[in-house]
Structure 1
């Protein structure tokens, strides 16, 4: 039987969403503690054809078990599962990347967790997101929470939280850029956009974990992209699990998120694990990418 989370923290003002984020906060502490012993890859691949670490599996199992036990949750989907897992009742459909950037574990670089809360069954448009959050396991464990209108950041210690930034927005004077993929594989428009950013003396900051790179953009201003490539125009990142939830955060922080040709949050994916190019950050920088791709 599903249960309600005891005394959920006030994250967004929505009791169901707050219960979800409270479980994410508590579980993130355990996920982080387990990382040192779960760096190795296991047999098999995830539905996107990527190698899976023991830490990926562990995080997915913890989040699924606990989130599906909430009365507010109708379904749970993750990058590690082919299909969604349904719950009895509930109104929210969750899409998680339980451990974003897990290939960074072997080199001791940051990883994260991404959570999208939708009010329509998946796959669905980013316009159906009611809230999103992500956890960054860096030198400190932090959690960024978005209710669709505002963005707050918290320090997570021992399961408790401390406010770091309230209702924050992207800096107006951007300083960093991060574009994924091999430069020789970029399309001409992507190459032209990056050359323009380099002429403006933006600093390259790319670490191989989506959440770590996006946090750089939110902190310093700039643009992140995993762009369209010559041989993979759909890019690499998954729409429901990564692009749309993180895009909601950036949009609420005063930025823009695009698939290169328009607002990414208006896209309507056909498949649960569908990929999409993504460009997000300061609005004028995203506009410049769209101009080069048009």
Structure 2
């Protein structure tokens, strides 16, 4: 039997097949990640490459996903927020993972997720190289949202790792009703603060912010609205990473008919040379994201 190391070109799988396999691995690993959380609600030794303290659950999820995704014959590189450099696992597509987005929510038992971006290029890649994206949400139920070939699909993942479609051709609703913005309010720049006050003045809009970026984005995808982690007075590039959060979230939201921005352009057009580079992130319905850009243009 051919091993991953000695496959001939004729034996390598197509990108489409590899993407399906990546989604399958992520979905089937989700119950294991979730089951491993209760005993890993403590800090691990050390920090990730962005200088943030790691939880034991971060490390556990990262190692599990690296092993499973790295075994796929069509995956060439694996990278995560928990590792300084990509891992060379063979030949094929590159996969970037935020193994446990919102792991600080472990202690209060709030929403967390896993974010996946698939690139047809070596890392660090660009938005133009994204061929698929997904996230798993560990909420009241475990769900997975995927974007590929111009379509967004939502799945319910069962305890045994089996999963089934619950929503096809997901689109942002035309009657948006939620908003959520990260960062300390005193650190917001004045133009962004003014924009948020305008959003808050609309009685039809409800604040939804839970400390897990992907949980907040899922609210927007479900109800319509806007999420942002903005540029801050002391952090012009914000907090979120382009490769691990910016590109995949933008890909999903834009595929679902929404819009993304770093404040002046689509997140998919942002180019950064560092694997762990950050960017401001604004995603949601067209009118809201256009409003952000208009407000920030006054700076």
TM-score (structure 2 length as normaliser): 0.93
Displaced runs of 4+ in structure 1, greater than 6 A? none
Correspondence 1:31 to 2:29: no
Q: Counterpart of 1:251?
A: 254
Q: Distance in 2 between matches of 1:200 and 1:291?
A: 18
- Confirm or deny: 8 A CA contact 1:148 1:248 kept in the other structure: no
SS at match of 1:24: helix
Q: Counterpart of 1:179?
A: 181
Q: Distance in 2 between matches of 1:192 and 1:130?
A: 36
Q: 1:131-180, CA deviations, whole angstroms, 9 ceiling, x for partnerless residues?
A: 00000000100000100511000000021112111001000011110000
Q: Distance in 2 between matches of 1:72 and 1:88?
A: 8
The alpha carbon displacement at 1:199 in A equals 1.4
Q: Counterpart of 2:169?
A: 167
Q: Mean Cα displacement is larger for which, 220-229 or 200-209?
A: 200-209
Please show how residues 104-119 of structure 1 align to structure 2 within 5 Å.
104-119=105-120
Please report the RMSD computed on the Cα atoms of aligned residues, expressed in angstroms.
1.3
Please show how residues 134-149 of structure 1 align to structure 2 within 5 Å.
134-149=135-150
Q: Counterpart of 2:82?
A: 80
Q: 1:170-201, CA deviations, whole angstroms, 9 ceiling, x for partnerless residues?
A: 00011110000011110111111101101123
The alpha carbon displacement at 1:125 in A equals 1.2
Count of aligned residue pairs for this structure pair:
285
1:15 is aligned, of 11, 14, 17, to 17
Q: Counterpart of 2:123?
A: 122
Q: Counterpart of 2:100?
A: 99
Q: Counterpart of 1:154?
A: 155
Q: Distance in 1 between matches of 2:288 and 2:149?
A: 22
Correspondence 1:270 to 2:273: yes
Unpaired segments ≥5 residues, structure 1 = 4-12
Q: Counterpart of 1:189?
A: 191
In structure 2, the CA distance between the partners of 1:282 and 1:148, relative to structure 1 (3 Å rule), is: farther
TM-score (structure 1 length as normaliser): 0.95
- Confirm or deny: 8 A CA contact 1:148 1:249 kept in the other structure: no
Unpaired segments ≥5 residues, structure 2 = 6-14
- Confirm or deny: 8 A CA contact 1:2 1:68 kept in the other structure: no
The alpha carbon displacement at 1:2 in A equals 2.6
Q: Distance in 1 between matches of 2:137 and 2:296?
A: 31
Please show how residues 184-263 of structure 1 align to structure 2 within 5 Å.
184-201=186-203, 202-263=205-266
SS at match of 1:193: helix
